[in-house]
Structure 1
Amino acid sequence: MHSSEMQKSVSVQVDSDFALLLPSGAYEIKKMEPRSKLRRVILFCLLLSLFGMVAFGYFCPDQVCALSPRERVSEAVALTYAEAPGRPLPDMIAQPGLSYDEVLHDDFRFDLNAHDVMVFLHIQKTGGTSFGKHLVMDLDLKRPCNCQRARKRCHCFRPHSNEIWLFSRYSTGWKCGLHADFTELTACVGGELDRNEGSAVHRRYFYITLLREPVARYLSEYRHVKRGATWKGSRHWCQGRTATGAEVPPCYNGDSWRGVTLEEFAACPWNLANNRQTRMLADLALVGCYNGTLRHRTSDTDRVLLASAKRNLAAMAYFGLTEFQKNPAFCANRRRSRWSLLQHKPGQRGVPDAC
């Protein structure tokens, strides 16, 4: 019998390695690691990985932790969904915020004691000034907004903390720019609240807005500009930068367009009053932001913006129609409002005269 056939090898758990020579052959005794220790190491690694994924998804902002950057979606893709009225855009360009259906059917109630935030998208000349004042002065809350006489600003805090629950002109000011649109707000609100409160918090956002009959809104903006309004403080922020003067050129020379005629107002091809409500509700990244969209608008571009605006409007928790504020119930409520807190009275500029 060959010596190689007589040599056998076994493994047992001992404190050290040694060789044992027995009459039936040579046995090599090797030290083994306990299986229980190896299992503990594997279990620890799995738990650590799971904790990391949960923490990553919970604390990291969407705009930072997205698996891929949001790029311009081709017009062909967006137009496919624009052809059918009311058909939602694909998930790849879905926007944050709770939709009306979610609020209605899934019992997503706005919770002042949690981290829910109401975000008011204020479109020019839709009655947003009056509506914004009602939000800070006329809601029946356990801890009403604290409005200061000397300033057009109210502190709207949660019942048991100094966290902000309302993001609007009269609560936080124009933190995201004068009359910030949907594209600006969704990229800005979270960071501004984090800076204001000194910490990053996982919040739910309830977007709300007001809409107005387009022709009436356009004429109202014309009259406002004719009196000297410019909204020069608007940032037009999109995809990480402000639109340049060449992308959003003024329609006038000088400080304002005071005294402009309606014909001159309508003749300017890049007048932001044109189709303003759709533009302010849409995701402008879908059409390359302001890069050429004002000077070289096409029917396809307009259809993409309309499809996106419908999608975002459907994803809002609430929207109202300006014309319905003219009914008697609204007028009665308005007359009971504490307008003096913000130094406004019915009939003054900025307050509707329909009543």
Structure 2
Amino acid sequence: MPGDMHKNVSVQVDSDFALLLPSGVYEIKKMEPRSKIRTIIVFCLFLAIAGIIGFGYFCQDQVCALSKRAVILQSSDILAYNELPLHQANSINGNANGNSNGNGNSVGGITAMASKSSAPQNIIANAGLSYEDVLNDDFQFDMDGHDVMVFLHIQKTGGTSFGRHLVRDLDLKRPCECQRQRKRCYCFRPHRNENWLFSRYSTGWKCGLHADWTELTSCVDVELDKNEGETAKRRYFYISLLRQPIARYMSEYRHVRRGATWKGSRHWCLGRQATAAELPACYKGKDWLDVDLDQFAGCESNLAANRQTRMLADLALVGCYNKSSMPAHERDRVMLASAKRNLAAMAYFGLTEYQKMSQYIFEETFNLRFAIPFEQHNTTISATAVQNLRPDQKRRIEKLNSLDIELYAFAKTLLFQRFEHLKAKDTNFEQRYANLGNIYFKQGVTEFNWDSNVEDGLSTDH
């Protein structure tokens, strides 16, 4: 090979590199100093770590925890729950509520669904400790701790009577102190003046008149902190009553035609009240006195229809009161599935038509005793009114309350399942059940008449 083809090439390798081109000529490429590259990498890592720490520190809990207010579910997820058999839904609820932390809220603010491909995912609820949680052998409602019972009071379900019994007729170490003129009771813990009960008669309508699930779950903690002047890690136990939908609807109709309005209700959802456009008034003037049934049923914005489903559902999932956010049939199915989910996750619910069974379940669930037996009246004024409906009226009211009818059937099946489960665990069941409410040393308890309180007495805030 000719001598002029042999050339010595000197390459500086710490900051440059040599590239041999096809022609055999070397091209020198300039490199970035290694120290500069390391500086850039360190700076990027610092930004990433600082961002993670800063986001976690400053982000609001309900956002970072992906709570129910931060995540709007895909309709297919929650709708799938509506199609599940009851036993499978219960299994999901048990798994969902099994990973709860000390304050009764599921870890991270999410009650996750069981990880099954056939089960819906990401059903979100924040209804405190569930019935499955309180079935643990070592469970006890802790009056001396930070346990709080939250009563979701649905109109015309017998909640007024039940609320009175909660504050006047439970056998407690420190009974509630009631002031008849104020219709208010102080239900404090045995050794300090903190509320263990959040209800109309104990705290008042702190979250609005007849606050629903959507309102209560976003309000209770804030109101108790405000009321008690401190922040506490509380365990919440949501309780409620349901009633046969057509009888409940007729009872509400009778109540409204006597002058009830519930104008004090806030209808609060996702940080704001429902607008007048979203909930147009059904009547002009101060009330709907003497309205006839056809007019009452004819108002599309009348919240009496499917009231129980609406008040138990998470309305954030359906765009709150904005009915244009999704098709009507999809809105109904999502709302019903959410109401079923929340009802099944509640620590306790009772049914007006099964008072003795409801009393037994409450007492066994919370290990608390009422000093009187709940009486059962098989005939009510509203039940009689239902029998007197014209066929076309009955069909119309059943259609208006179709979601409540399905929810009530679900609730009835679930109530009987809970009853049988508790009965099987109770070695002294026959004697216990036969003597519900017979606490011989308790005197001066309320004279109980469930249906007179359900049906009678005019008050716009009942």
> Same fold judged by TM-score > 0.5?
yes
Whole-Å separation in 2 of the counterparts to 1:253 and 1:91: 43
1:321 paired with 2:358, answer no
Cα deviation for residue 297 of structure 1 reads 6.2
Which structure shows the bigger proportion of residues in helix conformation?
A: 2
1:78 paired with 2:109, answer no
1:119 paired with 2:150, answer yes
* CA pair 293-317 structure 1, distance change in 2 beyond 3 A: farther
Q: Kindly provide the CA deviation profile for residues 95-134 of structure 1, in whole angstroms up to 9, marking residues without a partner as x.
A: 2311111111364321001000000000000000000000
Q: In terms of mean alpha carbon deviation, does 61-70 or 205-214 score higher?
A: 61-70
1:305 paired with 2:335, answer yes
* CA pair 205-61 structure 1, distance change in 2 beyond 3 A: farther
Q: Is the 8 A contact 2:63 2:70 kept in 1?
A: no
Q: Kindly provide the CA deviation profile for residues 220-264 of structure 1, in whole angstroms up to 9, marking residues without a partner as x.
A: 000001101110000001111111111111111111111111111
1:331 maps to which of 375, 399, 404: 375
Q: Kindly provide the CA deviation profile for residues 36-63 of structure 1, in whole angstroms up to 9, marking residues without a partner as x.
A: xxxxxxxxxxxxxxxx9xx98xxx9853
Equivalent AA in structure 2 for residue 303 of structure 1: R
Equivalent AA in structure 2 for residue 149 of structure 1: R
Whole-Å separation in 2 of the counterparts to 1:184 and 1:232: 16
Q: Kindly provide the CA deviation profile for residues 278-302 of structure 1, in whole angstroms up to 9, marking residues without a partner as x.
A: 11000001101111269x8612211
For the residue of structure 1 that corresponds to 2:173, the secondary structure is: coil
For the residue of structure 1 that corresponds to 2:175, the secondary structure is: coil
What residue number does 1:248 align with?
279
Q: Kindly provide the CA deviation profile for residues 257-277 of structure 1, in whole angstroms up to 9, marking residues without a partner as x.
A: 111111111111121011000
Question: Runs of at least 4 residues of structure 1 off by over 6 A?
Answer: none
Equivalent AA in structure 1 for residue 260 of structure 2: A
Whole-Å separation in 2 of the counterparts to 1:81 and 1:251: 34
Whole-Å separation in 2 of the counterparts to 1:77 and 1:162: 43
What residue number does 2:65 align with?
66
Aligned residues: 295
Whole-Å separation in 2 of the counterparts to 1:350 and 1:318: 21
Q: Is the 8 A contact 1:71 1:285 kept in 2?
A: no
Q: In terms of mean alpha carbon deviation, does 204-213 or 99-108 score higher?
A: 99-108
Equivalent AA in structure 1 for residue 242 of structure 2: L
Q: Is the 8 A contact 2:157 2:454 kept in 1?
A: no
What residue number does 2:170 align with?
139
For the residue of structure 2 that corresponds to 1:310, the secondary structure is: helix
For the residue of structure 2 that corresponds to 1:162, the secondary structure is: strand
Whole-Å separation in 2 of the counterparts to 1:239 and 1:232: 20
For the residue of structure 2 that corresponds to 1:331, the secondary structure is: coil
* CA pair 350-239 structure 1, distance change in 2 beyond 3 A: same
Cα deviation for residue 346 of structure 1 reads 5.3
* CA pair 263-67 structure 1, distance change in 2 beyond 3 A: closer
Structure 1 residues 177-216: aligned runs within 5 Å = 177-216=208-247
Equivalent AA in structure 1 for residue 334 of structure 2: V
What residue number does 1:171 align with?
202
For the residue of structure 2 that corresponds to 1:163, the secondary structure is: strand
RCO comparison, higher one (Cα < 8 Å, 6+): 1
* TM-score, reference length from structure 1: 0.75
1:101 paired with 2:145, answer no
Q: Kindly provide the CA deviation profile for residues 3-38 of structure 1, in whole angstroms up to 9, marking residues without a partner as x.
A: xxxxxxxxxxxxxxxxxxxxxxxxxxxxxxxxxxxx
What residue number does 1:350 align with?
453
Cα deviation for residue 351 of structure 1 reads 5.6
Q: Is the 8 A contact 1:138 1:337 kept in 2?
A: no
Runs of 5+ unmatched residues, structure 1 = 1-51
1:287 paired with 2:310, answer no
Whole-Å separation in 1 of the counterparts to 2:336 and 2:292: 28
Equivalent AA in structure 1 for residue 263 of structure 2: K
Cα deviation for residue 64 of structure 1 reads 6.4
Let me know the Cα RMSD of the aligned residues. 3.2
Equivalent AA in structure 2 for residue 187 of structure 1: S
Whole-Å separation in 2 of the counterparts to 1:98 and 1:106: 15
* CA pair 174-61 structure 1, distance change in 2 beyond 3 A: farther
* CA pair 297-64 structure 1, distance change in 2 beyond 3 A: closer
* CA pair 105-214 structure 1, distance change in 2 beyond 3 A: same
Q: Is the 8 A contact 1:130 1:352 kept in 2?
A: no
Whole-Å separation in 1 of the counterparts to 2:202 and 2:253: 28
> What percent identity do the matched residue pairs reach?
65
Equivalent AA in structure 1 for residue 330 of structure 2: D
Q: Is the 8 A contact 2:251 2:455 kept in 1?
A: no
Whole-Å separation in 2 of the counterparts to 1:347 and 1:325: 9
Whole-Å separation in 1 of the counterparts to 2:330 and 2:444: 45
For the residue of structure 1 that corresponds to 2:309, the secondary structure is: helix
Q: Is the 8 A contact 2:187 2:202 kept in 1?
A: yes
Runs of 5+ unmatched residues, structure 2 = 1-52, 93-119, 358-371, 377-436, 457-462
What residue number does 1:16 align with?
none
Q: In terms of mean alpha carbon deviation, does 183-192 or 69-78 score higher?
A: 69-78
Whole-Å separation in 2 of the counterparts to 1:181 and 1:347: 22
* CA pair 106-338 structure 1, distance change in 2 beyond 3 A: closer
Q: Is the 8 A contact 1:119 1:205 kept in 2?
A: yes
